[in-house]
Amino acid sequence: MALGTCIPRKNNRGQIITLVVITALLTTTLCIIRDVDRPFGGIIDVRPTAMTEVQRQATRDFLAHHTAADIPCDDKGNRRPV
């Protein structure tokens, strides 16, 4: 911001190029942070296959020792009455 306010009126090509480069770098950084912050959508798209596999294994291990009626939540994730 200081660079933008201190640009001279004449012979300012170097300052304007520097300002444009810094602005482009900061904008790119913010876009990358935004995209990485949303891993299941955006340019960097990560599929939740590992999480789905962990859920399947956890359910399998639980059902090996309990019945399906012992699961504390229904298939929509709502808590079952006690």
The reply to whether 33 and 15 lie within a common domain is yes
Q: Which residue has the higher pLDDT, 8 or 59?
A: 59
11-35 tens-digit pLDDT: 888 888 888 899 999 999 998 888 8
The reply to whether 17 and 29 lie within a common domain is yes
The reply to whether 36 and 55 lie within a common domain is no
Q: Which domain holds residue 30?
A: 1-46
The reply to whether 2 and 35 lie within a common domain is yes
Decide: 28 and 34 in contact? Cβ < 8 Å.
Answer: no
The reply to whether 30 and 61 lie within a common domain is no
47-71 tens-digit pLDDT: 778 888 998 998 898 888 887 677 7
The pLDDT, as a whole number, for residue 4 is: 67
Using 50, 70 and 90 to split pLDDT, how confident is the model at 3?
Answer: low
Residues in the chain, overall count:
82
Q: Give me the number of domains the chain comprises.
A: 2
Report DSSP letters for 24-80, one per residue: HHHHHHHHHHHHHHSTTSSSS---THHHHHHHHHHHHHHHHHS-GGG-SB-TTSPBP
DSSP state, residue 67? -
The reply to whether 6 and 38 lie within a common domain is yes
